[in-house]
Structure 1
Amino acid sequence: MFAVVKIAGQQFKVQEGQNLYVPHLEGNAGDKVELNEVLLVDRDGTIEAGASVKSTVKAEIVNALVQGDKVIAFKMKRRKGFRKKHGHRTHYTQIKIESIA
């Protein structure tokens, strides 16, 4: 049994018991989260998609803040003395899928 869930504009294929890194969600470690935007559910070969899906996915926050890899954007114009360095690390939340109901 699996489901396709939309979280912060991205789609994730989830199964029960799966750990997953999603864009940062509000909450602390141990909090329960309900994901209501379910796009598709497969129950033992029976597929529900679109408006007919009435399921919710329940998850638990395992780690509230995980930082991604460092990304550097470096701009330079040769012979002009122009150099600009800008970087960031994307924030993620680690969740564990508990049930698809």
Structure 2
Amino acid sequence: MLAVVKIAGQQFKVQTGDSLYVPHIAGKTGDKVEFSDVLLVDNDGVLTAGKDVTAVVTAEIVNDLVKGDKVIAFKMKRRKGFRKKTGHRTQYTQIKIESIA
């Protein structure tokens, strides 16, 4: 069984047993999370999409805070002595899909 789920404004294609990184979700390691915003379900070749979908995806939080790679924004104006360096690391949550029901 395959499903396309909308999590924090992003779409993810998931199957039972998949482990993926999603934008940070409030919760601790071991908590159960349900995603009811399912856009598409493929059940052995039978596609269900749109308002007909009544499936709910259940997942467990494996790691509650994972930091992504550092992204650096560097601004400089030549011959002016202006240099500005800023950066950030996006926070993710690692989840494991338990069931699509």
Q: Please, what TM-score do these two structures have when normalized by structure 2?
A: 0.99
Residue aligning to 1:74: 74
1:5-61 CA deviation, whole Å, 9 max, x = no partner? 000110000000000000000000000000010000000011100000000000000
1:45-90 CA deviation, whole Å, 9 max, x = no partner? 1110000000000000000000000000000000101000010000
Letter in 1 for 2:16: E
Residue aligning to 2:60: 60
Write the distance in 2 (CA, Å) between the matches of 1:36 and 1:85: 40
Aligned length: 101
Q: Secondary structure at the match of 1:30?
A: coil
Residue aligning to 1:31: 31
Q: Please, what TM-score do these two structures have when normalized by structure 1?
A: 0.99
Aligned-residue RMSD, C-alpha: 0.3
Letter in 2 for 1:3: A
Q: Secondary structure at the match of 1:71?
A: strand
Gaps of 5+ in 1: none
Letter in 2 for 1:53: V
Q: Secondary structure at the match of 1:17?
A: coil
Letter in 1 for 2:54: K
Structure 1 runs (4+) deviating above 3 angstroms are none
Gaps of 5+ in 2: none
